């Protein structure tokens, strides 16, 4: 069994997050798993949707209450210019590729975008479990 030390968790996070990513939404009723690939997701089109660039240097890596490190990124606001329908979750790809690093289906969703001005806020987070 692999053991991640508290000290090592910071180094591992720094290494992993020293890349640029793209945060994308998906609108199909899909439950991501470890076999998920890019083509499994249907990204929104129109209504002012654009994926968000996640820049490596903006991650905040900090020690949590258990002494391990985790990372948070500033909130990304997706604003819509008109109806979009249901948005089920988001996924991250490495910048310039279709390689999916992680995905999350909204536990409190889907969010239904009905009007211009509707928005979804996402605060990307990443941690290593002890």
In a domain, 12, yes or no: yes
| pLDDT reported for residue 80 | 96
Model's pTM, two decimal places?
A: 0.88
Whether 104 is covered by a domain: the verdict is yes
Report residue 1's pLDDT band, with 50, 70 and 90 as the boundaries.
confident
- Flag whether pLDDT at 49 surpasses 60: yes
**In which region does residue 85 sit, left (phi positive, over 0), alpha (psi from -120 to 50) or beta (all else)?**
left
Q: Which of 42, 32, 45 is nearest to 84 (CA)?
A: 45
Six-digit token pair at 20? 């640029």
Does residue 1 fall inside a structural domain? no
Percent of the chain whose predicted confidence (pLDDT) is above 70: 98
Q: Is 83 part of any domain?
A: yes
Cα-Cα end-to-end distance for the chain: 12
123 three-state secondary structure: coil
The total domain count for the chain is 1
Average pLDDT, integer, range 85-105:
95
In a domain? residue 22:
yes
Whether the predicted pLDDT of 98 surpasses 60: yes
**Has residue 42 been placed in a domain?**
yes
The mean pLDDT of 26-37, rounded to a whole number, is 96
Cα 39 to Cα 103: distance, rounded to the nearest angstrom: 13
pLDDT band per the 50, 70, 90 thresholds, residue 52 = very high
Structure tokens, 61: 């890596």
Range of the domain at 42: 6-127
Q: Please, is 81 exposed, middle or buried when counting C-beta atoms within 10 Å of its C-beta (0-12, 13-18, 19+)? A: middle
Which has the closest alpha carbon to 90: 24, 22, 41, 43? 24
pLDDT of residue 8: 86
Which pLDDT score, from 0 to 100, does residue 7 have? 84
- pLDDT of the residue at 5: 86
């Amino acid at each position: 069994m692999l053991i991640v030390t508290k000290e090592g968790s910071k180094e591992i996070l720094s290494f992993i997050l020293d890349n640029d990513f793209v945060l994308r939404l998906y609108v199909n009723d899909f439950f991501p798993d470890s076999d998920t690939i890019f083509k499994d997701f249907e990204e929104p089109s129109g209504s002012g949707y654009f994926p968000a660039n996640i820049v490596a240097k903006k991650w905040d890596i900090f020690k949590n209450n258990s002494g391990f490190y985790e990372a948070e990124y500033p909130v990304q606001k997706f604003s819509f210019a008109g109806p979009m329908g249901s948005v089920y979750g988001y996924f991250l790809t490495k910048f310039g590729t279709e390689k999916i690093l992680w995905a999350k289906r909204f536990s409190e969703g889907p969010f239904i975008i009905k009007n211009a001005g509707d928005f979804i806020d996402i605060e990307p987070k990443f941690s290593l479990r002890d």
